[in-house]
Amino acid sequence: MDQNLLLPQYNLLLIRYAEIWLKSQKIKIRMLKYLMSNITKILKRKGIKFNKYQMSKDSSRVFFFFNNKDLPSAIEVIKNAFGVHSLSPAIRTSNNLKNITERTIELAQDILDQKDTFALRVKRSGKHSYTSIEVAQIVGKAIIDNFPNLDLKVNLTRPRKQIYIEIRGDFSYVFSQIIKSKWGGLPIEPQKKIVVMDIGRLNDLIAGFLLMRRGSEIYPVLIDLTEEGTEIEDWISNWKEVGDYIPRNNVHLTKFRIYDILKKVYLELDEKQYFCGLCRLLRFDLMSKILKNPKFHFYEKIKACTDGTSLNCSNYCSDSVDLETLAINALHLSHPIFTPLIGIGESKIQELLKKISNNLKKVNYCPFKPPNQVFDAEKLKELYNSLKIDNDLKTLVENGTRINIF
């Protein structure tokens, strides 16, 4: 963002959305209310003050009003909000053509230089006594007449500078830049609750993040395969980076350490080529018990779970075992499992990681890493039923620990 374009007269952010606009009016209004609510929660958590917010009468824009000094921080927060397509720091005035002209000249004085070419981009919504073309012609002529020494010229195809005027009902908004949001997507809604099953793979974290981008409210469950304390700080640190995008004031993780159970299974298992499949079934079984336990009341309305399975050989377990055990997850888990990374290549995953945060760290999440894993559904069922770990898992659920992020 060019700080030089944050003019001292700006006192609001004009916020646009794309995908929300395609919804029916009822759903659109619902999503916009959540969008505004999510933005206010994150601003408050960050300590960024705002004066008020409102929606335009035609439901096409959202406006947040700030003191000018708070605009840079607000832009950095709002451009990360899911559901936002773009935003612009702007000046608001009436729909009176004289006022529009005066405020546009005021802005032009700050951004136009000697021999600049410029264009006015005018949009209008509602009934007015003038057309958009008439506004552009009148205001454009006024700019040239007010700055004769600058030798300005209008260029509608390739201008060096652009000034935007949006006239919406009784008000008009004048600005000179459009800042693209980082993610787009849909605003997070609390009725779309998703559990993120995370064993420490960055893929698990990204899977949860992508569902959040589609409007889901995520609840991360850390299933700890590591020896006590191993790299847990990096793991929590990764979720703090993701937590920055979550519009809740009480973001937390719930951790369940299954290392001791897995170690026992590994040592007693003769056919170790089935270990990864057994580990997967054990995690599905654990998750089922967590979701049924009244202790975790915040999971009551969970709609689905996520899993970081991908087909790019980036995980310790083989892709085939990861994929095929999903087909028998219903043995234990009644919730659907979403796998948003299933068709994404390794290079794209790395791009997503950097886009989320430059501070994400790889975690050495599995101390077992058995080679030559195979899958056989009937054999896995037989082996799993012989483990007799039901009571161990129930005890594990009772001993889950809560880790507060915010």
pLDDT in tens, 308-356: 998 887 777 888 888 889 888 888 988 999 999 998 999 999 999 999 9
Give CA–CA dist 53/402, Å, rounded: 35
Amino acid, single-letter form, for residue 247: P
Q: What is the mean pLDDT of residues 124-148?
A: 96
Please report which confidence band the pLDDT of residue 2 belongs to, taking 50, 70 and 90 as the band edges: low
Predicted confidence at residue 229, as pLDDT, reads: 65
Q: What is the DSSP string of 35-59?
A: HHHHHHHHHHHHT---SEEEE-TTS
Q: Which residues contact 345 (CB under 8 A, 6 or more apart)?
A: 312
Predicted confidence at residue 294, as pLDDT, reads: 83
Minimum mean pLDDT among 47-56, 300-309, 317-326, 382-391: which range? 317-326
Give CA–CA dist 219/206, Å, rounded: 13
Whole-model pTM above 0.85?
yes
Amino acid, single-letter form, for residue 152: L
For the chain, residues classed under CATH 3.40.50.620 are 193-404
Predicted confidence at residue 315, as pLDDT, reads: 77
**Domain 3-180 carries which CATH code?**
3.30.2130.30
| The pLDDT of residue 31 is above 60 | yes
Which helix (H) or strand (E) segment holds residue 318: the answer is: none
Give CA–CA dist 11/230, Å, rounded: 48
| CA 196, 276, 364, 360 torsion-angle sign | negative
For residues 253, 387, 313, 218, the Cα torsion angle rounded to the nearest 10 degrees is -20
For the chain, residues classed under CATH 3.30.2130.30 are 3-180
Do 308 and 201 touch, CB atoms closer than 8 A?
Answer: yes
SS3 per residue for 350-386? HHHHHHHCCCCCCCCCCCCCCCCCCCCHHHHHHHHHC
Please report which confidence band the pLDDT of residue 230 belongs to, taking 50, 70 and 90 as the band edges: low
| The pLDDT of residue 305 is above 90 | yes
- The CATH topology of domain 193-404 is Rossmann fold (3.40.50)
Give 260-281 pLDDT, tens digit per residue: 999 999 999 999 999 999 999 9
Give CA–CA dist 58/55, Å, rounded: 8
**C-alpha distances in Å from residue 45, one per residue of 12, 17, 54, 220:** 19, 23, 20, 20
The percentage of residues in the chain with a pLDDT greater than 90, rounded to a whole number, is 79
For the chain, the average pLDDT equals 92
| The pLDDT of residue 3 is above 50 | no
Give CA–CA dist 84/146, Å, rounded: 36
**Residue 153: DSSP 8-state:** E
Do 304 and 295 touch, CB atoms closer than 8 A?
Answer: no
Q: What is the mean pLDDT of residues 109-138?
A: 96
Predicted confidence at residue 263, as pLDDT, reads: 94
